[in-house]
Amino acid sequence: MGFLASTSDTDPEGQARVAALRQGLQDLGWIENRNILIDCRWGGGDPNRVRAYAAELVASKPDVILASPSSVLAAVQRATRTIPVVFAQLVDPVGSGFVASLAHPGGNITGFADFEFGIGAKWLELLKQIAPPVTRAAVIYDPFTPAASGFLPMIEAAGRLAGIEVFPYSVREAADLERAIRGFATEPNGGLIAVPSALIANKRDLVSSLALRHRLPSVSGFRYYPANGGLASYGVDNISLYKRAASYIDRILKGEHPSNLPVQLPDRYQLVINLKTAKALGLEVPPQLLASVDEVIE
């Protein structure tokens, strides 16, 4: 099988994902280098490298490819419409054109989705709960991630209800991140929402450090964000999706076709807050919010 990731091979997040996949496969009797070979390729946040690796993997004719997130899956989809492909981390697979429907994917792609766009409103609500003075919110998103802009209408609608003005920033590289956050922070009462993407995953240390430097409370969708200095996250346990993906890889290797395997949606979300960052920003997390936290990072 092929495994194409957006992170670098030295990124702990990427290593955790492939370790979860390997464990899931092992639990089903697939032992690497015994009865299965896994060809891992690491995009490192570089779209050109991702496209090249997608072409190389398809040319090697594996029995199945695991490709995530959507920017990586899009490259693989362009390279093949016949090799079975499983994803483990994807937003709106129908709207993004990867599957015909959740119940009946219809083509060579299926897998495990992570978000619906409505969670964008929850990110803004969480930001306001932790930092009540916020009246302005910067939303940084990567246009290379096909569904990233889909969160904006939900965040903007929630902003209107909460009295928060929303400022979208399309960012393609580290310099864009620095420019956007520095410019936004010149006015007071700001907060930041980092829409999950390959760019945000690979530059999470930079995003969280810039937010802290400019005194911006910040929220994102995955645990890796507060774990690397961000304020909070709300979303699915994305590592678990890679372990769950092993079940579809197993079924495909045993003869089933992706078109008949329904896309799976998450059944729970987790809230993670970094109290060290909250303290550095001078924020007191409300007790009722702390009571509902799944993990506190101190």
pLDDT tens digits along 231-252: 999 999 989 999 999 999 999 9
- Give pLDDT tens digits for 266-296: 888 999 999 999 999 999 999 999 999 999 9
Rounded to the nearest integer, the mean pLDDT of the chain is 94
Q: Please give the Cα distance from 93 to 108 (Å, whole number).
A: 13
Pick 46 or 127 by higher pLDDT.
127
Is 221 within 8 Å of 142 (Cβ atoms)? no
Residue 106 has pLDDT above 80, yes or no: yes
Is 232 within 8 Å of 271 (Cβ atoms)? yes
- Burial degree of 65 (CB within 10 A; 0-12, 13-18, 19+): buried
Mean local confidence (pLDDT), 226-230: 95
pTM: 0.87
Residue 82 has pLDDT above 90, yes or no: yes
Mean local confidence (pLDDT), 48-65: 97
* Residue 222 confidence class, pLDDT cut points 50, 70, 90: very high
Residue 143 has pLDDT above 90, yes or no: no
- Residue 106 Rama label (left phi>0; alpha psi -120 to 50; beta): left
Question: Any residues with CB less than 8 A from the CB of 12 and at least 6 apart, and which?
Answer: none
- DSSP 3-state assignment of 271? strand
Q: Please give the Cα distance from 157 to 155 (Å, whole number).
A: 5
Q: Please give the Cα distance from 42 to 5 (Å, whole number).
A: 5
- Give pLDDT tens digits for 144-203: 877 778 899 999 999 999 999 999 999 988 899 999 999 999 999 999 999 988 888 889
- Whether the domain at 2-114+238-260 and the domain at 119-235+270-297 fall into the same CATH topology: yes
Dihedral in degrees, nearest 10, Cα atoms 220, 73, 19, 151 = 10
Q: Please give the Cα distance from 142 to 46 (Å, whole number).
A: 12
Between helix 204-213 and helix 174-184 the angle, nearest 10°, is: 20
Q: Please give the Cα distance from 64 to 66 (Å, whole number).
A: 7
Q: Please give the Cα distance from 5 to 41 (Å, whole number).
A: 6
DSSP conformational letter for 259 = G
Say which CATH topology domain 119-235+270-297 has.
Rossmann fold (3.40.50)
Q: Please give the Cα distance from 182 to 134 (Å, whole number).
A: 17
H or E element that contains 274: strand 270-274
Tell me the pairing of strands 232-235 and 270-274.
antiparallel
User: Which parts of 172-222 fold into alpha helices (H)?
Assistant: 174-184, 198-202, 204-213
* Residue 96 confidence class, pLDDT cut points 50, 70, 90: confident
Domain spans of the chain? 2-114+238-260, 119-235+270-297
Strand partners, 295: 272
Number of alpha carbons in the 13 Å side-chain half-sphere of residue 45: 18
Residue 19 has pLDDT above 80, yes or no: yes
- Which numeric CATH code is attached to 2-114+238-260? 3.40.50.2300
